[in-house]
Structures are given as structure tokens and as C-alpha cells.
Structure 1
Amino acid sequence: PETPQPWHSGSCTFFTPPLSVSVMAFPTKRTAVVEGDDHNLRIEHDAPMPTVKPGEILVKTKAVAINPCDYKMHERFPCPGAVDGCDFAGTVVGIGSDVFGFGVGDRVCGAVHGSNPLMAQSGAFANYIASESEFTLKMPPQMTFLEAAGLGGTGLATLGMALFKALALPGTPREPAAKPLLVLVHGGSSSVGTMAVQLLRLSRSLTSGRIARNERTGHRPIATCSPKNNDLVRGYGAEEVFDYHDPECAQKIKSYTRNTLAHVLDPFTDVKSIALCYTAMGRTGGRYACLEMYPDYVLDRKTIKVAFVMGPALLGHRLALDYGYERDADPEMREFGVGALLGITFVPIFLWNRPLTQEDLKHIPIVQFEGSNDQGRYTRETRTLLQLGYEKYLRHGIPFQMRNPIGEMGPQVFLPMKYLDEVKRAPKTLFSFDVFSEKAYLLKYSHGPQQTDASVLVIKDDLNKNLGNMVTGLWEETTTYLEETISYEWQTVPAYAFLCGVVARTVSYALVGPLLCRNPEWQRIVVEATYAVFGAAQAIRQQYTPRWRWLSRWRTSARKQLTQIRADAARLLRPIYNERQQEVRTRLGPSISTYDGLFKDTVFWLLGRKSTDTSLASIVDQELFLSMASIHTTAGSINSFLFDWFAHPEYHQEIKAEVRETLAKVQSCGGKWTLQDVAIMRKLDSFIKESSRKNPIGFITGQRYTLKPHTFKDGLHIPSGTTILFDADGVHHDPSNYPNPDRFDGYRYLHLRDTVDANRFHYASVSDISLNFGTGQHACPGRFLNALVVKFMLILFMTKYEVTLEDGSMQRPPDTFYDNNMRPDTDVKIRIRRLD
């Protein structure tokens, strides 16, 4: 749906079963830069494809970077047949077992050990590479592949070892040390030097790629460089710079540091650099980190602890090299390496994801509360503020910005409807709903199921086209569930929880078929999945600041709980999966649209999409996502419609008469429903559409995260990183769209269909003045299934059951509010019994 609903905080469970490598078709050979028998590098177009081992992902490379080690390794340690190269950026095309947090299509970057005698296939200079998932990072949307490769996974990982292990500096760039230390970076204008200066002095307060000089935190880097680069190095955060050509350079450093310098990073490590650095250090010595080996007698000074840092050692594998470069396997170093790569490399990536501030959007007016403006009001009283912003700005074609309860995402900008067409037509690479969801619900940290192109297309292209064949089955599942659950005696049940159970069975009929939909364990899983995902996001936000969320991968119980839901779902789905997979192999023709066989559910249709990942794990995730997207929103809608039904008895007689007339027609046809039978109940349709207008479950639509700066046709500029939205509730209560908008008129849309357009104003339709199901390419594709489930439930309540509020009241109970959402109170109970 357009608006996932972060409604409940219940704890639950989730999964990733071992994944087989994606079944997508891959070439049998790849192009790679390989060392030949003559020890020279050459391009081979028929190099073997890498084997994807447990814990690895297969990446199709888009860009690579060249490091000094890329030529040093094959020259110093010949290894014919080995692929060269370390740093890469690309797209995930395959996933091995025991991999968490990655999906096919993810944009990633990282580093591998090229020219590796023990793993000849592991180099980065190839069009397909296998990378360890723990040393691979997802790229932020704004970052290009060139930028990601140039960022230098090797260089930054090496610096992580050099600064925070070899030099043993306290703190990290994400959590600056309480007591900053002076650190000399020799060669501050080099690629390693500029990275080191920024890591040492990193601040979150950025106005560009460089650090604002008056807002620095962390350690105090000083650097050497040529005078022509002084401004460059200072701009990256150096406190002072010195000319290494100056014969007095070391003495000037000693004077500046008052003979106390105890930490030095030397990327060059030659005789001159060692002499300069040693001379600059204080009388009590300290720590010296170098990136090249040099004879011990040159480095000998008892008060200085020397550490030679070599990037590949960070992986923790055995290095089968010579001349002192060899290393035994080191699990402790690997553990440090995982944290270093994530904690250090995520720092520059964090710069690309800098939250917007009001200063970035100063050309857009701000709407805020009078008096207390605390964050809590933006979760409890949003509707009041949206109404103010709509009347003051949006109705007049002016956007406004408002504080986002999720502070790390920066202000949210509400756009007038005149921009809707431009946003609807914009590509996903400009305005992204997927990225909005990932950031709002921390999906990359919780590892929750996410929307895929296949899961959307299977609803648009397959489910919707087959609803006519499924409509009777949906009716029968709803009828049977209620008969099995409700007796002729009065029962008191929590309305929302009860409705979730009914919807879980009915919707699952369309998703996984009649056999599994009746399984109570499956019904429990698909209801709890939503609680688990949003509970995990809530737990991660409570436990970790944005700087430290990468740790949630290992330390958050909420994320671990998600593993169990996936495992249980996979166990239950496996027989269905195997049965449909066999049908696909034996009976499916060249096009799934020509199939007229036994199975009509999304499991079968997903398996029939041969160009997508059809592993069991992928199907499980997509089924969980589809369940999350449909069950709670549909149950919440029915809950709201039911409360409005209680509150407006003046419509009961006519609507019930319409319903009974339709039921009689269906009964005369042997109990077989058609879509036309549902469509002719126009009064019922109008009533529920008016309920969704007057008492929606969400106030906003068109949520997008801006990936690139954009200027609209009229000149409005939106910087990258902006969250944009449209106020659907304001549109639905605008008197120019709907006269007397605050009055509940159950036949409002019936009149519009009779006088304006017979097809435009039905419950599942979307338009610029009917936004409950979203808009554009992200308009909820499942809205037609939603309409059937909603109507069948209400029809049964009207004709087969007697339903009242627990206290017998005829008033709509007070709603609850959270962020941009409104729902009936989930604690409200109803009394229900089956009629004779």
C-alpha cells in the first residue's frame, strides 16, 4: 500500500533461512584482469565464474578503483591465475547461504583480497565477483558507483586498523573521544591523508563534503603537505599544516606540539618520512603506524611502538605471502575488521545521507505548534497541524515544511496538489517510495521483508486479472471462518484483533491458496509479521542512535526475533512451494497469462516469473511482504467502517435491502459470485468510501524520498534528501472538492456517480481528489482485493450476524492517532453472535 502503517509495537519473530544462490541465469564465464604465467597482468574474457560460498554475495561490478597494492601484490608475490584488484562497486545479482541484509538488486561497495594465492578467484577487477557479505556495504541512493569505488574500501579499512588499532586512539569517528589527541598525518594531501584527516576530525555538522571548521569534534589532526595544498588539507579538518620540504619541518612540528606528539600515521614509510616523523615525535615516544614494511634497524627506537598495517589482514584470513607479509588466520582481527569496515566506512557514506535541516529548506514556510512544540505533539496531534497547513498554504498552491517525528530524516515537505502529476510521472531514481520506506521503518537494519518489483507486478498483472475466478472462494473462506469462530451465543471480542484473524484467512486464500490459508499457524504468522517488523524498528531506534545502528545486526533481539517468523513461514510454505514449482516446470507454457490450470495464487505466479529470484527464501519474503501490506490495513479499514455503520443507522434499511437483493441473485446462480454482483451494490460502495474519506486510517499519500536535487516547472527547488508528501486528508476535506466536507454523507459518492462520472467515484478508484489508496505508480495495486474482502465482511455482519459495541453505544468510539495515521482504538470490543 501507499502508506505502511506502523501501528503496533508488539514483539514477535523473524528469519532468513539458508539461501541458495539466486536462480537467475548467469554467464558461465566472466571477463577479468588475471595474472598470467609470465607474471604480467592480462585481460581474459573466458575466466571462470567465481564460486559463491556461504556468507558471500555475487556482485556485477559497475566501477573499480586502483590502489598501490594492486600492482605491488602481483609483482612481489606472483600467483598465476589470480584475479587482481580490491575495491569495487556494483549490483547484487546472487546471494549465498548465511547472508543477512542483502537482496538481489542492492547497490553495494566493498573490498576483496586481490592477487590472493589461496583464493585466486577473489579479485575485484572482473565483471562478476564474489564478496564476503560482512565486508560489503549498501550504497546510499545519492552515491554513484564511481564515488563508491573511489571511496576506497581498502584505504578506509586500512585506516581503521591504523588509527584505532595500531595507534590505539580512543573513541571512533562516530563517537568522538572525550579528550582529543594530537595526531600527525604525514602527507595530508594524499588520498590516504585526506581520508585520515577527516576520520580523525569528523563532525556530523556538514554543509558540504568537507567539515565545517567551527563545528569539529574528535581528535586534532596536524599534517604535512606541499604549501600549494595547505588550504585543501585545512579544509578537510587539519588543525595546522607543515611543509615537508622545509628542512626545519620536524622541529616546527615538535615546537607546535610542545614536544608531546605521541601518535603518527605515515602512509609513505621511506627513509625520509621515517626520519621526519621520528624527529617530530615527543621525548617520551609514542605510537607510529606505517603502511609499508621497512628494516627494523631504521625503525628502531625503544620509546616508539611501531605497527605495520596491511589492509588484507583486516579480513582475518591466513595470508600465504612471504618476506614478513605472511599472517596466520586471526578471528580477533576479523571481528575488529567487521566493526571497522562498518563503523569507519559508514562514516563517509553517512555524509551522503546527511539529514536536511530547516536551513536547507529556508525558502519553504514552516508550520509548527504554538506554545509547546515538543516532538511528542508531532505523533499525537498531527491532524490539527496538517489542517492548519492546508488552509494557510496548500489550498493556495504553496508548500510548507513540518517537523518530522523521525528527527533523523529532517523536515518533511508537504506539496500542493499542483505538483502531483510531476511527482507521479517522475522516475524512481528521482523520487523513491522504496527509499522512504527503508528510512522510515529501518528496513535495512531490521532486515524486514521489502517490496520487490515482482511482488507489485504479481498483484497488478496476475491477481487482479484473476479476481473474477477467485471471488466465490473469497466469499466462502470468509463465511466459513466466521461460522467456525462465532456461535449463536453472544461473544465479546477485541474488534481489531478479531478482524485481523478473519482478514488473514481471506487474504491468504489469494496469496497462498485454500490449503495453507486455513492453517491457524500461518494466520498467526502473517498477522504477527507486521508487529515484528515495526517492533524491530522501534527497538532499534530506542537502543541505537543512527551512528551505531550497524551494530543491531548482531546485538538486537528484535532483529533476531524476525528470524523465527521467516523460518516458520518457510516450513509451512515449503510443500506449497514444491507443488507449484513442479506445476511451473511441467505445465506452464511460454506465458503465464495462457495458463488455465489448478493453481491461482501469488506463490504460483511468482514462481512463473522466470526472470526473478524464485528461491524458497525469496518467495517467503515476498509472501510476508504482501501479507504485511494487506492484512492490517484491510482489518483497520473494516474496523473503521463497522464503527461508522454503528453510528449511522439511518442508512441500514436501504443498504441491507440492496445487499439482500444481491444475495438472492447470487443464490439463484448456485452461490457463485461474479465481480459484477459486487459492483451493483452501489449504496454499500458509497457508504464505505465516505467512511474512508471522513475517517481515514492515514492522512497522507505520495510519500517519496528525494534522491537528487530537483526543480519543478514553476521553479520550486527541492534538495536531495527531502521527504515529500501530499495531504490526502486536506484534499478530502476541501469544500471545493466535497461540499460540506465535515458532514458524513453515506451517499455522497453515489450521487457523484449518478451526476458526474459513473466509473470515477467507486471505492477502489483513485484520482486527484480521492487519495486513500495512493497515487501514481505506487497506488495500492491490491485495492481491488481489499474492496472484495471489506464488502464481504460487512455483508456477512449485516445479514448473518448481530454485531454491537460492547456497551451498546451508537456513537463512533474515539480514534487513536500516531504520526500521520488514525485508527480505531484497538482496545475497543464488540459483541457478536450468529443469527438463526
Structure 2
Amino acid sequence: MEDWICVKSELLSLVDSYLNNFNLGEIPTIGPRGFFGSYLGAIKYLSRGREMVEEGYYKYPGGAFKVPLIDRWIVYVNGPKMIDDIRRASDENLSFPDAVLETLQSNYTMGKELRTNMYHIDVVRNALTRNIAARFADIKDEIECSFEDEVPVKNGVYVHVLPIVMRIVARTTNRLFVGLPLCRVPEWRDININFTIKVFMSAQFINLFPAFLKPIVGRLFSPLHSTAKVAKKHLEPLVKERLAKEKEYGSKDWPDKPNDLISWLLELAGPEQRNAYDLTLRILSVNVAAIHTTSMAFTIALYYLAARPEIVEELRKEVGECIEELGWTKAAMGKMRKLDSFLKETQRVSGTAAAAMTRKVLRPFTFSNGTSVPAGTLISTASYSLHHDEEYYKNPMEMDPFRFSNMRVNEGEGIKHQMVTPSSDFVLFGAGKHACPGRFFAVNELKCLVSHLLLTYDVKFEDQAGGMPKEEWYREMVVPNRHATVLFRKRQ
């Protein structure tokens, strides 16, 4: 019965979508036109999504265009003014959660429970961010230990980068999320890595089907229930122990209470969420965001360090000076302006998807330039094209490692060009109230990872003339090259 209700709901949504598409006639199309042509365009979008978005970005500057998906259109909007319109819009008009539901198929991939009460977002935004400094020594310790385990360097070793980076990031992240010893349990680490990969892969697979088939396909191919069952086995003893401590002391605060994500979630959870299964879903979902974002960014940064040895010494000098002054602390990370600039620039050049700030239009919406979109429409910003537009970035295709730190020298610009600071011309983390809530943790963890790498290892590609390994694109998404290897050599 529930499947039939879902199918019926999706059929109604499909009808609404087709009706809404008639109202998009004023917005120009990229790709083949006509009923059958749009399906050819949707197929082309699977492999040429970035090129189609770039075509629309430069053909309609400051305006909008649409590209076809399998069962609907997506409208891209161009330029800082339209980005500001999205940033200022209310959730009643432009909804971020509804967009995640459609693009990531979160009902099937991560569970409906997460949408009924999204308190874990507030936990990430507040408690996680607030405790970065207090837990920084643990972050550094886990980075050091995981590198020793994953990169056993003697006289030098070639490393297949991405899988090892994901294992290091999963361990480091979960040191803060679930603590020792669980963060070092191989099965727990692999659960979270594999779930992260499967969420994105299954979402893309589900999105290949028309709306009325998604409930059936989603249930058949969701990684959620099998993953949650195994993950709960690891978390349930910890949750039961902490609930027992609360009962023993009659309070949510008790002696030697762990300062981690499990505790922060229990502090804010309602009575119906204070159980092992609900907490398992939330910890898995937070891991998806944390592992994916940081692993991709660290891999790209590592590739650039291997490809551009001339910038290593300057970064290494800054890192060494800051750590000598302030130790391995959050405060030291905050002083590393050149490293911050390098990381932001590598993401601008190589780490940005073709789309960002995706929203679902819940009420007919008119942008400040007069562009109108009907309810039911998905909209996005053309982020890759924005980040490579010479109107906003001089020599935009060049990776200039200190581009942003040089900007911060100017009076009043010290905060504006930080990696964590969203702006209308840099939308890596989104903008407005829906800017990535975990970006402060992600950037500090990323700085610590790269700092440890710089001070501990020399890295290079076997073929230095080959330059950066080519990134891989699917639809509007990008990932760093999954097959590249890098030589690690321990510094003396």
C-alpha cells in the first residue's frame, strides 16, 4: 500500500512537472529541442553536463537557461545578482530540503526520518563548530596515527591516493563523531566509506528513471537498510550506555561524558529520536557529507602539491611558523592565510561541480531581473562557470595558489576571502542560511591534513611533466581522478 501511495504521489508530481514545463517556454533551452529532442539532450547531459551548462552560462550572461533531465527540466541562473536572489529567498519560496530530496533521493538513500526532524543540522552547525578547538588535539592525533597506518613509508612508496585518503578522512572525522576505539574499527570505517559512495551512486541510478518508477527503484536499490543494520550493531552499545548514565545521574550531564557527536545528538534529540536506530541514521548521514567533501578536497590539494613542487616550500614555511608559535591548534590553522588561499584556489579551479545552491521552487518565483519560474521547478547556479569567469577572476583557468591571500592584504579584506566565507562569486559551500553547516570543521580538518602532509612527507608524481591528473565528470558532478598514484617519501 505504501509503495502504491508513493507511486501515485510521483505520478501526480510527474503531471505537475509536465504542466510546469509548459510555463518554462520563455527560458531558453540548451541542447536539442522538441519532445524527443529533449530526451536526447537528457542523455547528452549525462556525459556532457558541464559543457552544456558552460554553453548556457556564456550565451545568457546574467540570465537563465534550462537543460533537460530524464523526467523534467533544470533551470540554471547566472551571475551574482541572481545568486543573491536565491540567498535571500525564504524556504517557503525556494526550498533547499526539497531539492535534496529530489537530487539525492534522500527518502530512499538516507531515510525519511531525517526529513521529519532535521535537528542534526543544528548539531553540526552549532555543537560541532563550537567544539573544534576543544577537540583539535584528537583530530591531529588521529591524522598522525592514520597516516602511519595507511602510508607505511620506508624508502618511498607509490600510493593509490583516493582510497587511502578516504580511509584517513573517515578515521579522523569519526574520532570526533564516535571517538576511540570505534573510529579505528575497520568495519565501522568501511561502513561509512561504502555508504558515502553508495548514496551518491544509488541516487544517480534512481534519477535515471521517471518519477512514477522512483519509489519502486528506490526501495530495490537503496543502500540504507542493510547499512543501518550493521552500523547500529556498533553504535547501540554506546547509545545504551549513555542513556543508562543519564538515568543513573538524573541528568543529561554526568561525569566524564564523552564530548562527541553522539552526545551532542542526544542533547538535542526529542524523545522519539533518542534511540540507537535514529542516531545511526543521523551519524551515517553526517558522515556522508563529511567524508565526501573533505576526501575530494584533500585529494585535489595533494595532487596539486605533487604536480607543483615550487609552491610546497612557501606553504611549508608558513605552516611551520604558525605551529611553532601556536602549536597544533585551531588558532594556528586560522593564521595560515597562504594555506587557506591554496585550498580555496584548488577548489575553485578543480573542485567545483557545474551546479551549486540547488533549490526547488515551491511558489512561483520572479528574480530581480524579471526571470520567472513556476512552482515545481528545480533551479541551480552555474558554479563551475562562475568560478572560471574572467569577469571575477583574473586568468581564471590558472591555479594561482596565493590569489586569495594576496587579496586579504588589502584593508577590510581580511575575512572576506577566507575559504569558509561564502560570497556571490564563490559558492563552493553555498550561501545564506543554507551554506554548508559543517564548513568550519571541514576547512580546519583539511588544513590539519595538509599541514601534516607538508611537514611529514615529500610527494610527487612519477611523471612530473604530466601535470594534474584529469578530473572525472558525470552530469553536473566532478570527482578527482580515481586512478592516480603519488610517490610518498618521508622527510628527514
Same-fold call, TM cutoff 0.5: yes
Q: Is the 8 A contact 1:499 1:635 kept in 2?
A: yes
Q: Is the 8 A contact 1:356 1:721 kept in 2?
A: no
Q: CA deviation at 1:699?
A: 2.7
1:137-165 deviation digits (Å, cap 9, x = unpaired): xxxxxxxxxxxxxxxxxxxxxxxxxxxxx
The 1-side partners of 2:337 and 2:167 are apart by: 27
Task: Answer yes or no: is 1:674 the counterpart of 2:343.
Answer: no
The 2-side partners of 1:362 and 1:552 are apart by: 31
1:625-664 deviation digits (Å, cap 9, x = unpaired): 0000110221111111111222322212211111122333
Residue 703 (structure 1) aligns with: 358
Q: Is the 8 A contact 2:359 2:380 kept in 1?
A: yes
SS in 2 for 1:381: helix
Q: Is the 8 A contact 1:446 1:536 kept in 2?
A: yes
Residue 87 (structure 2) aligns with: 424
Q: Cα 1:630–1:400, aligned 2, differ >3 Å: closer, same or farther? A: same
The 2-side partners of 1:462 and 1:685 are apart by: 23
Q: State which of 143, 147, 153 in structure 2 corresponds to 1:478.
A: 143
Higher strand residue share: 1
Task: Answer yes or no: is 1:796 the counterpart of 2:452.
Answer: yes
1:592-635 deviation digits (Å, cap 9, x = unpaired): 8xx99532111101101143622211100000100001102211
Q: CA deviation at 1:808?
A: 4.9
Q: Is the 8 A contact 1:399 1:415 kept in 2?
A: yes
Q: Is the 8 A contact 2:352 2:384 kept in 1?
A: no
Q: Is the 8 A contact 2:74 2:380 kept in 1?
A: no
Residue 250 (structure 1) aligns with: none
The 1-side partners of 2:281 and 2:294 are apart by: 20
Structural mapping, 1:157-236, within 5 Å: none
The 1-side partners of 2:42 and 2:14 are apart by: 25
Q: Is the 8 A contact 2:77 2:83 kept in 1?
A: no
Residue 646 (structure 1) aligns with: 306
Q: State which of 407, 413, 419 in structure 2 corresponds to 1:763.
A: 419
718-727 or 432-441, which deviates more: 432-441
Q: State which of 28, 31, 54 in structure 2 corresponds to 1:387.
A: 54
Q: CA deviation at 1:802?
A: 2.8
SS in 2 for 1:531: helix
Structural mapping, 1:516-665, within 5 Å: 516-540=182-206, 545-552=210-217, 556=220, 558-559=221-222, 561-585=223-247, 598-611=257-270, 613-665=273-325
Task: Answer yes or no: is 1:694 the counterpart of 2:349.
Answer: yes
The 1-side partners of 2:314 and 2:324 are apart by: 16
Structural mapping, 1:468-507, within 5 Å: 468-489=133-154, 490-507=156-173
Residue 459 (structure 1) aligns with: 124
Q: Report the AA paired with residue 577 of structure 1.
A: V
Residue 825 (structure 1) aligns with: 481
Residue 73 (structure 2) aligns with: 410
1:538-570 deviation digits (Å, cap 9, x = unpaired): 55456x65333433476x2x33x5322111110
**Structure 2 spans left out of the alignment, 5+ residues:** none
Q: Report the AA paired with residue 456 of structure 1.
A: I
The 1-side partners of 2:169 and 2:42 are apart by: 34
Q: Cα 1:368–1:628, aligned 2, differ >3 Å: closer, same or farther? A: same
TM-score (norm 2): 0.89
Q: Is the 8 A contact 2:305 2:459 kept in 1?
A: no
Q: CA deviation at 1:437?
A: 1.8
1:438-461 deviation digits (Å, cap 9, x = unpaired): 222333344547565211100111
Rg larger in structure: 1
SS in 2 for 1:661: helix
Structural mapping, 1:320-339, within 5 Å: none
Q: Cα 1:832–1:574, aligned 2, differ >3 Å: closer, same or farther? A: same
The 2-side partners of 1:587 and 1:818 are apart by: 53
Corresponding pairs, count? 483
Q: Is the 8 A contact 2:307 2:460 kept in 1?
A: no
SS in 1 for 2:408: helix
SS in 1 for 2:42: coil
Q: Report the AA paired with residue 391 of structure 1.
A: Y
1:358-398 deviation digits (Å, cap 9, x = unpaired): 5321111223379996434313333333333222223xx22
355-364 or 495-504, which deviates more: 355-364
Residue 727 (structure 1) aligns with: 382
Q: Is the 8 A contact 1:766 1:773 kept in 2?
A: yes
The 2-side partners of 1:466 and 1:596 are apart by: 18
Q: Is the 8 A contact 2:305 2:460 kept in 1?
A: no
Q: Report the AA paired with residue 679 of structure 1.
A: G
The 2-side partners of 1:745 and 1:761 are apart by: 14
1:251-280 deviation digits (Å, cap 9, x = unpaired): xxxxxxxxxxxxxxxxxxxxxxxxxxxxxx
Q: Cα 1:665–1:351, aligned 2, differ >3 Å: closer, same or farther? A: closer
Structural mapping, 1:28-67, within 5 Å: none
Q: Aligned residues: percent identity?
A: 25
Q: Is the 8 A contact 1:414 1:727 kept in 2?
A: yes
The 1-side partners of 2:395 and 2:255 are apart by: 49
- Name which structure has the greater RCO, CA cutoff 8 Å, separation 6+: 2
Q: Report the AA paired with residue 662 of structure 1.
A: C
Q: Is the 8 A contact 2:192 2:284 kept in 1?
A: yes
The 2-side partners of 1:517 and 1:647 are apart by: 32
TM-score (norm 1): 0.54
Q: Cα 1:430–1:724, aligned 2, differ >3 Å: closer, same or farther? A: same
Q: CA deviation at 1:484?
A: 2.2
605-614 or 785-794, which deviates more: 605-614
Q: Report the AA paired with residue 390 of structure 1.
A: Y
Structural mapping, 1:212-291, within 5 Å: none
Q: Is the 8 A contact 2:150 2:164 kept in 1?
A: no
**Structure 1 spans left out of the alignment, 5+ residues:** 1-133, 136-337, 667-671
The 1-side partners of 2:318 and 2:255 are apart by: 34
The 1-side partners of 2:203 and 2:171 are apart by: 26
Structural mapping, 1:4-153, within 5 Å: 134-135=1-2
The 2-side partners of 1:483 and 1:643 are apart by: 20
